């Protein structure tokens, strides 16, 4: 079942629509849920009984993966970078699901993952590794699928989106959408708003993922727009508290500080800067609802530590 697309009417002289990936029907939804369900098809098929993944203990990715593991009685191990450790609604759910977390300095992540997989396999477990954030061709596939849902909506409703905006992190979501555009030969702009990485690193990650999925076909470069002007000082930096309040009041839709708030803010500034008018614009709400609740005190009391 496709996630809904809502028509939100006029916005800065354009017609704004929102695809509600936050309503994807698994554990508060979001792009991590869409990606994880595809990974778990592989896990089921291969009869794995142990999952190792990488991600911050407070991430949307770890919440969804640890929930799926718990529901299937699969052992779940998370390697988390020390730098990003915080108690949040996501980390509390992860704890509830009983996933084991090993917090290590960023530089030790790679070796720790290899050693852990080796140890678990030597205990006779069948281990499946899910890359951080659901990166890789399976994650890309999830957003090729999402692109097809968008095409279907356009067909049924007689509209065509000139622009698609969303929060870009590891670039997997972005890559899937670019693949969708290239496969369909669609003339529109797919614009990822960086929530952390600067250019050229951020954009190159998207290009690498598209090439890994499609091979080196022409036009990949032209089709990939990665905007790094609105990320503040990086991951988790607050640039968007007024946007979050505004969107909640105006539409009754929760955004968060780390991803969707930044992306919505970035989209708004981009539309103004480039003087875009009279276009149909789709914003993809990539989820992260538990993060909205983490920031609620800040929204109320202005207490953004």
Residue placing its CB nearer to ligand PLP in the complex, 127 or 195: 195
Does 131 bind ligand PLP (CB under 6 A)? Our answer is no
The radius of gyration of the chain from alpha carbons, rounded to an integer in Å, stands at 19
In the chain, alpha helices (H): 31-45, 60-72, 89-96, 109-122, 137-157, 172-184, 201-214, 241-251, 260-273, 289-294, 296-301
Site map for ligand PLP, 50-89, x if CB under 6 A? ----------x-----------------------------
What three-state secondary structure class fits 275?
A: coil
Residue placing its CB nearer to ligand PLP in the complex, 58 or 120: 58
- Residue 249 backbone phi and psi in degrees, to 5: -70, -45
**Residue 22: DSSP 8-state:** G
Does 295 bind ligand PLP (CB under 6 A)? Our answer is no
Does 172 bind ligand PLP (CB under 6 A)? Our answer is yes
Encode burial over 79-104: b for 16+ CB neighbours within 10 A, e otherwise: bbbeeeeeebbbbebbeebebebeee
Two tokens at 263?
A: 């992306």
CA distance 245 to 261: 9
Least Å distance, CB 49 to ligand PLP, is: 27
CB 38, CB 47: distance < 8 Å: no
Which of the stretches 12-20, 196-204, 241-249, 285-293 binds ligand PLP when contact is defined by CB under 6 A? 285-293
Residue placing its CB nearer to ligand PLP in the complex, 163 or 292: 292
CA distance 22 to 247: 15
Q: Which of 56, 90, 141, 173 binds ligand PLP (CB under 6 A)?
A: 173
What three-state secondary structure class fits 196?
A: coil
* Residues β-bridged to residue 282: 17, 164
Q: Which helix (H) or strand (E) holds 227?
A: strand 225-227
Least Å distance, CB 121 to ligand PLP, is: 28
Residue placing its CB nearer to ligand PLP in the complex, 32 or 181: 32
Least Å distance, CB 173 to ligand PLP, is: 3
Does 171 bind ligand PLP (CB under 6 A)? Our answer is yes
- Structure-derived torsion over alpha carbons of residues 67, 69, 73, 75, reported in degrees to the nearest 10: -130
Does 226 bind ligand PLP (CB under 6 A)? Our answer is no
Does 268 bind ligand PLP (CB under 6 A)? Our answer is no
Q: Which helix (H) or strand (E) holds 78?
A: strand 75-81
Q: Which of 24, 97, 163, 259 binds ligand PLP (CB under 6 A)?
A: 259
Residue placing its CB nearer to ligand PLP in the complex, 66 or 260: 260
Does 288 bind ligand PLP (CB under 6 A)? Our answer is yes
Which of the stretches 99-107, 116-124, 283-291, 293-301 binds ligand PLP when contact is defined by CB under 6 A? 283-291
What three-state secondary structure class fits 207?
A: helix
List of residues contacting ligand PLP (CB under 6 A): 30-32, 60, 133, 167-174, 259-260, 286-288
């Amino acid at each position: 079942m496709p996630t809904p697309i809502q028509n939100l009417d006029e916005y800065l002289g354009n017609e704004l629509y929102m695809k509600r990936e936050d309503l994807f029907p698994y554990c508060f939804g979001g792009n991590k849920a869409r990606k994880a369900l595809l990974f778990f098809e592989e896990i089921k098929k291969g009869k794995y009984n142990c999952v190792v993944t990488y991600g911050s203990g407070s991430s949307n990715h770890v919440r969804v993966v640890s929930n799926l593991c718990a529901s299937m009685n699969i052992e779940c191990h998370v390697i988390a970078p020390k730098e990003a450790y915080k108690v949040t609604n996501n980390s509390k759910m992860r704890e509830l699901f009983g996933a084991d977390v090993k917090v290590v300095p960023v530089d030790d992540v790679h070796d720790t993952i290899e050693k852990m997989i080796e140890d678990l396999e030597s205990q006779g477990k069948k281990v499946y590794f899910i890359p951080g954030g659901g990166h890789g061709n399976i994650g890309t596939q999830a957003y090729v699928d999402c692109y097809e849902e968008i095409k279907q909506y356009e067909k049924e409703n007689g509209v065509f989106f000139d622009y698609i905006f969303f929060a870009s992190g590891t670039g997997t979501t972005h890559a899937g959408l670019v693949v969708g555009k290239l496969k369909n030969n669609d003339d529109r702009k797919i614009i990822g708003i960086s929530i952390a990485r600067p250019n050229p690193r951020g954009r190159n990650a998207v290009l690498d993922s598209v090439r890994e999925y499609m091979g080196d076909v022409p036009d990949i470069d032209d089709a990939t727009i990665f905007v790094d002007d609105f990320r503040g000082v990086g991951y988790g930096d607050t640039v968007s508290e007024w946007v979050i309040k505004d969107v909640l009041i105006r539409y009754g839709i929760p955004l968060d500080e780390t991803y969707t708030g930044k992306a919505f803010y970035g989209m708004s500034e981009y539309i103004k800067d480039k003087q875009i008018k009279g276009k149909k614009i789709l914003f993809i709400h990539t989820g992260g609802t538990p993060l909205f609740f983490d920031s609620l005190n800040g929204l109320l009391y202005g207490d953004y530590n």
